[in-house]
């Protein structure tokens, strides 16, 4: 009996030693860089959530939550870095993914991209009390014409990508009236516009609506005539072996989410008024249907 117990203890000891000697495999982790950008992301106090369950109620919070359900093999952590800081961290070796990226030729050198959602159309934003003076009764406006009016002053963010269609009219030029500035967040320019510190800026209608929630709507937005179809918003990760493996899984997750439009459309519906949603919904449905049916899309 004593010998049997000793053999049993010996076996248990050997088993424990084998388990301790086995290399510990770290759980694969994706670090997501979020933006403090209501109502796309609603971050309490501008701070990153500690867990996926603590993501806010913004449009991209909700969409990212759907995507993460398709990625249970990863641990997810979150940080909040502005664009320039994120690029510095990437070059220093930090492996990052972002759920709100616009693809440019410069960024393609550093990151891999996969299409996620339609970003919607930027619009020209101005004070309601200047609407007739600036728009002159028109329901849409040409940024090319507006930027040449010497009596007006436009202001945009210097480190934000506004799209190729608008780029020619947003570059500082001797004969233009648009200037750029570094701003901590998109809403900063809307606050300056409300205070009359410039005549117009560019922003998404849902951002303007959120900025004015619970108070009189002193700002209005108008469609811009130079814009074509709604641009695509992307998820992006570092251009590396790690990033290639991760974005392959993210691409697969995005296609699975796109196959459930009944879960995606309410995320938009919450932040758009009736007219805005009626205009955006058909294009969004077509995009989701194509994304769900198509194969991998990574560049």
Q: Do 240 and 111 belong to one domain?
A: yes
Host H or E run for residue 144: helix 143-146
Q: Do 56 and 100 belong to one domain?
A: yes
Distance between CA atoms of residues 73 and 80, nearest Å: 23
Domain boundary among 169, 197, 223: 223
Angle (deg, nearest 10), helices 261-269 and 241-258? 90
pTM: 0.84
Q: Could you report the per-residue pLDDT of 111-169, keeping only the tens digit for each?
A: 999 999 998 889 999 999 999 999 999 999 999 899 889 999 999 988 788 888 888 88
pLDDT band at residue 25 under the 50/70/90 scheme? very low
What end-to-end distance do the CA atoms of the chain give, in Å?
A: 68
Q: Could you report the per-residue pLDDT of 1-18, keeping only the tens digit for each?
A: 545 555 455 455 555 555
Domain boundary among 223, 242, 262: 223
Domain count for the chain: 2
Q: Do 63 and 191 belong to one domain?
A: no
The answer to whether residue 21 is domain-embedded is: no
| Residue 28 structure tokens | 């694969």
The answer to whether residue 13 is domain-embedded is: no
Residue 23 above 90 pLDDT?
A: no
Q: Do 257 and 112 belong to one domain?
A: yes
Q: Do 79 and 128 belong to one domain?
A: no
Share of the chain above pLDDT 70, in %: 89
Residue 135: which CATH number?
Answer: 3.40.190.10
Q: Could you report the per-residue pLDDT of 216-225, keeping only the tens digit for each?
A: 889 999 999 9
Q: What pLDDT does residue 237 have?
A: 97
Distance between CA atoms of residues 111 and 91, nearest Å: 11
Domain boundary among 201, 223, 245: 223
Residue 180 above 70 pLDDT?
A: yes
Domain that holds residue 80: 29-120+230-293
Q: Do 55 and 127 belong to one domain?
A: no
Q: Do 181 and 238 belong to one domain?
A: no
């Amino acid at each position: 009996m004593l010998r049997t117990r000793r053999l049993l203890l010996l076996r248990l000891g050997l088993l424990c030693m084998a388990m301790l000697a086995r290399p510990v495999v770290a759980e694969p982790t994706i670090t997501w860089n979020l933006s403090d950008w209501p109502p796309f992301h609603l971050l309490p106090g501008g701070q990153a959530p500690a867990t996926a369950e603590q993501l806010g109620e913004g449009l991209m919070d909700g969409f990212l939550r759907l995507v993460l359900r398709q990625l249970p093999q990863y641990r997810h952590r979150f940080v909040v870095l502005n664009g320039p800081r994120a690029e510095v961290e990437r070059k220093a070796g930090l492996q990052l993914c972002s759920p709100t990226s616009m693809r440019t030729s410069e960024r393609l050198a550093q990151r891999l991209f996969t299409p996620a959602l339609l970003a919607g159309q930027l619009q020209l934003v101005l004070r309601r009390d200047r609407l007739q003076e600036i728009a002159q009764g028109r329901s849409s406006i040409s940024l090319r014409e507006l930027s040449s009016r010497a009596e007006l002053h436009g202001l945009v963010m210097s480190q934000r990508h506004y799209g190729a269609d608008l780029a020619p009219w947003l570059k500082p030029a001797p004969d233009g009236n648009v200037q750029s500035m570094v701003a901590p967040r998109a809403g900063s320019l809307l606050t300056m516009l409300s205070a009359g510190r410039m005549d117009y800026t560019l922003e998404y209608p849902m951002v303007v609506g959120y900025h004015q929630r619970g108070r009189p709507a002193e700002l209005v937005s108008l469609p811009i005539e130079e814009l074509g179809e709604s641009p695509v918003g992307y998820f992006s990760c570092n251009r590396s072996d790690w990033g290639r493996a991760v974005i392959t899984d993210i691409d697969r997750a995005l296609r699975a989410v796109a196959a459930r439009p009944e879960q995606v459309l309410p995320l938009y519906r919450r932040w758009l008024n009736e007219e805005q949603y009626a205009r955006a919904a058909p294009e969004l449905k077509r995009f989701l249907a194509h994304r769900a049916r198509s194969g991998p899309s990574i560049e």
